[in-house]
Copies of this chain bind each other. A is one copy, B any other.
Amino acid sequence: MAVARYQAENITSADERERVRDDIHGLMTRYGVSAQHISQRAVNIMAPVSPLVSPGSAADFELLFSDPTGDGLDQRMALFDRMAYEVFERGYKEPGLPPPDDIIHVSCAGYLLPSPAQRFVSDRGWLGSTVTHSYHMGCYGAFPAIRIALGLIGSSHACLPHGKERVDIVHTEFLSVHLNLLAREPDKLVTSTLFADGFVKYTAFSQAALAGSGKRGLKFLALKESIIPESLQQMSLKPGPRQFDMFLAKATPQLIGDSISEFVRSLCKEAGVDFHQRRVDMGFAIHPGGPAILDQVRDGLGLDESQIAPSRKVLYEHGNMASASVPHIWKAIVESDTVPVGSLVLSVAFGPGVTVSGALFEKV
């Protein structure tokens, strides 16, 4: 943000630059999410120009925006396109990997046609791998993606000539492309220090294909999604001439805390599970929307802090990566020895609506 201000206001003297850094540091300390909750975040609109000397030395970064106020949306989308394509290349670098039946591309940060997913599939010659875009669903975007994946596999076995075995889901949440580096409003300073770039790839298998693979995973027991009444104004994400504007009201964590218990009870009941009886032994993958949201969900569900530790850890190590957050927690739970195979795993996430979306899984 300091570098953007130097450029925007043509600030060249060392003294002036120090004043700008102090000003921004003051705002950040007052309004930003503290390093106690988020230790590091990926912000790919900044490229290091020399080895970083100290956290205060902003001059060691260069902005990938050509205009200090941030490029127009077309140039931001071009930056997104390049970055997301690279994510696909890295996600499929394993040699000899056969093409999946389908790829679901998840994002709330960049929309192109052809999309990076379509370009990648075309360049690989995977002409029969169907690409489905699951866009603009915000922080709970992993849930629409997994219900689409379950649908593609489940319905192919139930009603179509050929059963599908493997659907890959790739999230490219390049959120920093939408940063407004000159903003000084408190809510913008919150979102600027909370959201982070996040990229993740995982796979939905048919039950038979998973069983043959020797892999661990999460099996669907129930899915549920619901809108909290009269909460439309709490969160928003809207494309504008320069960036997608995000808004997050202060009351949101409380609102989620008030409704989470009833939601989870009802989700578990669908699968014949009594949540209050079983909660001590369950694994939890709660979307780390922010430190206060985790507090509210922990208290609303009557959990110990230790039960939501995987969510705190992902927030601390990566920030809020929107839809890419929850899959990082699923990975930790699947790989964790402290959550035995056979455990129930509850996962919930939140986004505009205010929408609460969740799944009950069994670790298999």
**Chain A contact residues, CB within 8 Å of chain B:** 72-74, 77, 108, 111-115, 118-119, 121-122, 125, 127-128, 130-138, 144, 147-148, 150-162, 220-223, 225-232, 235-242, 245, 270-272, 351-353, 355
Contact = CB atoms under 8 A, between A and B. Distances in A.
Contacts of A236: 112-114
A222 B160 contact: yes
Contacts of A128: 226
Q: Which of A113, A137, A272 has the most CB of B within 10 A?
A: A113
Contacts of A270: 161-162
Contacts of A138: 113
Interface-centre pick from A128, A223, A231 (highest chain B CB count, 10 A): A223
Contacts of A74: 238-241, 245
A161 B267 CA distance: 11
14 contacts: A72-B241, A73-B239, A114-B236, A118-B355, A122-B231, A122-B232, A127-B226, A131-B227, A135-B136, A151-B155, A155-B158, A161-B222, A161-B270, A162-B270
B114 A271 contact: no
Contacts of A127: 226-229
Contacts of A131: 225, 227, 353, 355
Nearest to A132: B144
Contact of A155 (B77, B153, B231, B245): B153
